[in-house]
Structure 1
Amino acid sequence: MTRFALTLLTSAAFLATACHAQDEVVALEEEAAVQAETLADESFREVPASQAEMQLSFAPIVRDAAPAVVNVFTTRTVQRQMDPFFERFLGRRGPQQQSALGSGVIVDSTGVIVTNNHVVEGADELRVVLHDRREFDAEVLLADERTDLAVLRIETDEPLPTLMLAQPGNAEVGDLVLAIGNPFGVGQTVTSGIVSALARTEVGVTDFAFFIQTDAAINPGNSGGALVNMDGDLIGVNSAIYSRSGGSNGIGFAIPVEMVRRVVDAALTEGELVQPWLGARLQTVTGDIANSLGLDRPRGALVADIYPGAAADEAGLQQGDIILAIDDVDVNDEPGARFRYAINAVGSESDFTVLRDGRERTISVPVEEAPGSTEPLRQAIEGRNPLAGVELVELSPAFNEAVGFDPFARGVVVLNVQRGSAADYFGFRPGDRVIELLGTRIEEIDDVESLIEGQDDLKSWPVAIERRGRLLERTLQL
């Protein structure tokens, strides 16, 4: 075959290959176009595509959002602590006024403001300074230590600018966000960053640890300020920073809008925040637990125990169930499950997706408050017995949660001890749980009263109490 013929054959083969490749390119471009159209339908988020887009400004968002962020100034009265040596020469000093500052967000045009509980806690006076420098006295509508949120109100004759609350679940990791507040009292400041993480539960700031993490600079004074998205909507209330120096290290935390909405609604409609209580002791599914249960990966929260008659018991949850999602939102651990249940109002229902015997099922769980009272009846014990001089109360989930006891604990606990009484002599202390008296298990106050009745001549009193997790057993001699 001549070189010319070979060249012709090679060219023909090249043309055929090129045509085939061109067809493949066209097909790939059509497929890419379809994918791009699908992605555009699913999300409005996209990476900046040009230098011009990189130079766009946040100013329009700030212009709309900043007027709804206020400064909160508080004054507290504290007793000065002085070394006794100096008190001898200078005399005891009187109370001292301490001032503090924070931020807040106007969420209702009538003057309703949300901030952090730790900003207003213990304050004798509250002053709110608006973006236009007008000042108002504020009253506290609701302050909740467990969520670290508080709702204030100021009286104004005209509607105020507000921030819209973002839709729940709208934030995603990587979203651009702005933090607006009053750091160090220098005046309203705006910083930018991204959502670094969602559902952070290792932050010990509130009882419902579930935070948005951001690298937008947050410093002291930003507490109670706004974390807003690119729509100018509130996605969280800035609450804490991770710092050893007290300044921003790029790790800040905000309470999500779901909890903010719940607290504001409670303040405006109920006047108090009644926390739901599931009545189930949950445990985060670890790698070891996942392996023992045959799961492909650690996920969800394991139901370890159920309180009789509580919401979980009524709904039919069982020990060993794994809660995978609540209200169609995935649950990754025990704090996440508690948060998702807690953002529901008492009286509503919540849908739990649970894994039981290898099958997923949906269970409707009522949202109920903890049984019992946060202020139970007190019973003073009198007569000739070792408990004379104590005030007893019966434990219940509501009371236990209020004072920091194990919510599942039952029985009778010592609330107060009268000085100089028999109980004081024998060393009883507030917080002691009476386990047994005269060899009989104590479940309620009536058990104590029935045992001491008619026992004035008894000399030996076997008693068992629980103190800070330790069981103490003694026979007391009168």
Structure 2
Amino acid sequence: MKTKIFASLLLATLTCSGFSTAYLIPAVAKTPAATTANRVYAKANPAVVMIRGNKGWGSGFIISPDGYVITNAHVVKGQPAVVTLLMADGKTEIPADLVGFGKDGLDLALLKINRRGRKFPTVAPAKTAARVGDNAYAIGTPLDEAFQNTFTTGIVSALRDGGKYIQHSAPINPGNSGGPLLNDSGEVIGVNTGGFGRATGNVGLNYAIGVNLLRQFVIDARQGKSSPVATIRD
């Protein structure tokens, strides 16, 4: 009762003082979707890196505290055996060794950061594969180095080749290659690889390598079963 009386007196005071109540705009609460996106970005972004080479740049992400990094093979193909990573803070540069490439045309590569004893932020592969209609989030460095840490959202639009590849609508552009595609839990469901319509702007037809292929590639690469050279077609 006291609350209602106070509110009435406050309204009367504001009106009599010439302050129009039309300007009392209520605070807008964040939607559940926005809150989820905020959480995904905060969790995953520290583990996303930009990869510099002598032919431009791409994206990647750290999957283990000791510094193993995933990216696309086409990002580091033809690059020196040691590439430079720019961490998420946009300032720290760290060298990383090329460990190996995916076999049979798989557009993946594994790197290892040269920093013994240091623990790095990581993003984990999802335990379950993506489903059509799931939310999808991308982080990377599209178009220019100035756009590092760009975060975009969309949905999983389709699963291709038996689920090996994910079609999604989260906008990506050149430079996003090798960056993570994430689920609502901030886990990696795929590795962003390419998209259609890039000459005229992204049209929402984007592709990522699915987590099952990623998981097996990491196992093989860490056991020395990766290819020493890129096997993707030019």
Q: TM-score range by the shorter chain?
A: 0.7 to 0.9
Give the letter aligned to residue 131 of structure 1.
A
Residue 140 and residue 243 in structure 1: after superposition, are their counterparts in 2 closer, same or farther (change >3 A)?
same
Spell out, residue by residue over 1:72-109, the C-alpha distance to the aligned partner (whole angstroms, 9 max, x if none).
0111xxxxxxxxxxxxxxxxxxxxxxx31000010111
1:163 corresponds, among 123, 126, 129, to 123
Segments of structure 2 that go 5 or more residues without pairing to the other structure are: 1-28
Matches within 5 A, 1:247-326: 247-269=201-223, 271-273=224-226
Contact residue 69 and residue 131 of structure 1 kept, 8 A: yes
1:128 corresponds, among 73, 77, 85, to 85
RMSD between aligned residues: 2.3
- The equivalent of 1:191 in structure 2 is 152
Secondary structure of 1:153's aligned partner: strand
Q: CA deviation at 1:223?
A: 0.2
- The equivalent of 1:142 in structure 2 is 100
Partners in 1 of 2:86 and 2:34 — Cα distance? 33
Task: Give the structure, 1 or 2, with the largest relative contact order (CA under 8 Å, sep 6 or more).
Answer: 2
Matches within 5 A, 1:214-253: 214-243=168-197, 245=199, 247-253=201-207
Partners in 2 of 1:230 and 1:188 — Cα distance? 18
In the alignment of these two chains, the number of paired residues is: 195
Secondary structure of 1:101's aligned partner: strand
Give the letter aligned to residue 167 of structure 1.
K
Partners in 1 of 2:110 and 2:32 — Cα distance? 39
Contact residue 173 and residue 198 of structure 2 kept, 8 A: no
- The equivalent of 1:64 in structure 2 is 43
1:151 corresponds, among 106, 110, 115, to 110
Spell out, residue by residue over 1:101-150, the C-alpha distance to the aligned partner (whole angstroms, 9 max, x if none).
00001011101001000000001251111112311111111112611100
Spell out, residue by residue over 1:33-55, the C-alpha distance to the aligned partner (whole angstroms, 9 max, x if none).
xxxxxxxxxxxxxxxxx995465
Contact residue 73 and residue 101 of structure 2 kept, 8 A: yes
Q: Are 1:212 and 2:166 counterparts?
A: yes
Secondary structure of 2:181's aligned partner: strand
Segments of structure 1 that go 5 or more residues without pairing to the other structure are: 1-49, 76-98, 202-208, 275-401, 405-478
Partners in 1 of 2:200 and 2:62 — Cα distance? 27
Partners in 1 of 2:49 and 2:139 — Cα distance? 9
What TM-score, normalized by structure 1, do the two folds share? 0.39
Residue 123 and residue 163 in structure 1: after superposition, are their counterparts in 2 closer, same or farther (change >3 A)?
same
Partners in 1 of 2:33 and 2:123 — Cα distance? 26
What TM-score, normalized by structure 2, do the two folds share? 0.77
Q: CA deviation at 1:64?
A: 0.9
Spell out, residue by residue over 1:256-291, the C-alpha distance to the aligned partner (whole angstroms, 9 max, x if none).
01111111111112x1238xxxxxxxxxxxxxxxxx
Contact residue 200 and residue 213 of structure 1 kept, 8 A: no
Contact residue 164 and residue 213 of structure 2 kept, 8 A: no
Q: CA deviation at 1:238?
A: 0.2
Secondary structure of 1:262's aligned partner: helix
- The equivalent of 1:11 in structure 2 is none
Decide which structure has the larger Cα Rg and report it: 1
